[in-house]
Chain A
Amino acid sequence: MKKILTQCKKELIQFRRDRLTVALAYFLPTLAIILYGFATRLEAKNIPVTVRNYDIGFYSREYIHTLFNNGQMVSVPWSGTKDTDPLDLGKARAVIIIPPDFSRDIRNNHSASVQVLVDATDVNNARVIKNSIIATSQYFLRSGAMEQQKNLIVPQVRLWFNPGRKESLSVAPGSIAVFLWIFPCLLSTLCISREKEQGTVLQLYASSITSFELMAGKALAYLLIGISQAIVLIGSSCILFQLSFVGNGLVFALATILFLASSVCFGLLGGSRTNSQSAAVQLVATTGFTTSLLLSGFLYPQRNILFPLSLLSNILPARYYVEACRNFFVRGSGFFDQFYILVALGLAALLIFNGARKVMSKMQLSS
């Protein structure tokens, strides 16, 4: 135990010495969450759209008015030689062409057609634009003078948990999970690969410290650092995004600690597997970042992940912690509903720690 504490103390002193690392350890996650929270917009807003109106009647003007009424689209004046020029030049994301007999057809109860060209280079937004225009058209038909097409079923949609559809409420908790995975493990991976790169590890081999004591000491030190990172990160995102705590605090605190532990151990595992700092950082950053970003349910809902990958997603600690974050900040679930999260995170931390310990278990040079 004394050796573990010796090791832990040394790591903390070293960490504190390196001003740049300290600054980055707290500044980078905060910066990243600001970028994610403010800049990531999954929802489309202010989409530039050009309308070519060849009709001169009342209904076309009314229709255009409705299109731009909800603020989702903004009108961009047409310019150029062809109808589709704004699309080609990237000035508009969609061009709507209203034919000359639009108003007449509607007045005569004929079906009127409107041509909509959507820029689908961004598939996601293209779909949003398409749906939005269809919905607007239907609304226009219902609310206008056309009483003849009554809809029989009227869906009453309600948005739960995030009634104002506040984007930050969905992005911020997920980002917390992603960054609390990446940054602590980046620091811990350096602390072991640096010893290997600089040869100080020989001193450890030559002393009688065991792999368990070494790893536990390092993990403890970086867990403490990770907790302080978590406090800074969660604190700053609460202020920036006006998050409020609605879930069970105890379960969230436990989940955070277990999650940080598994992140730190993951870094140690990566560091003990590689022989240089740069290789360790690449390994940990790439695997950690891609998996936690793509497979954790942060960007895409869990159910969208296809079969073989969905298995992988289920063993990712980040997947459980994303859930824990959303429970705590958005959903407000109780203790026992989330018990499985604690079990999964605890198990992950133990397994990864054991893996790291095993890699170094010989505590000597490989022949």
Chain B
Amino acid sequence: MFGDIIFPVIVVAIIGLVAGLGLALAAKFMAVPVDEKQEKIRECLPGANCGGCGYSGCDGYAEAVAKGEAEPNKCAPGGSAVAEQLAEILGVTVDTTPKVAFIKCKGNRELTVSKYGYEGMMSCSAANLLYGGPLSCEYGCIGFGDCYKACPFDAIKMVDNKPVICENICVGCGKCVATCPKSVIELIPKGAKIKVSCNNKKKGAPVVKNCKASCIACGMCEKACENGAIKVTDNLAVIDYDLCTACGKCKDACKRNVII
């Protein structure tokens, strides 16, 4: 009786008790304090782990924010709502204008002159390695959809070999910006009415020859603008969205229909 039943029960009970007590003691004496702020921040984050903030994931970003190494408005999927929550936890104010990706190129297979027939891997970065891609504009969109493949939110669609960004879905994480070998994608304030849809940093005749929808750096928009919000820098019109009132005068002034 004792040897068959009670002894095994006692043995297992004692081992269980020792293990349990050991773990309880270990948890008490070897506890690692976790920053309360960090846990709170982590709870506010959406948990998509997209990496748009530049950290390994939501946990990494929460840690960085709690330590004060990162700004609280870097979370693109969470947008302004999350940024405000984080700012409240940290007790600071942040700039919460939501951003969307915008493709600064109107060029396509018809408008832009073709340089050569490309028959390689259908990837912008691969095509870019071969004399900067099959289109004659060295700054423009190649159109093989590397950004479309990179978008974690399916906000980019490919229409006639051209990526189209759906502004309602885009959260401005910037993955496409980092992927594009031509750096033709930019993050602009959501709902911006005036955009410059060209990335060509050259001027004059060769630009006109290469693409029908290109900025030739004529400076008409700069003259038309009353607020000084549009400037031609590096032979390309650039809008300062802090000053732009979306009056549309630059749009009318542009002979090349590049400002949309």
Asked whether A and B interact, the reply is no
Chain A contact residues, CB within 8 Å of chain B? none
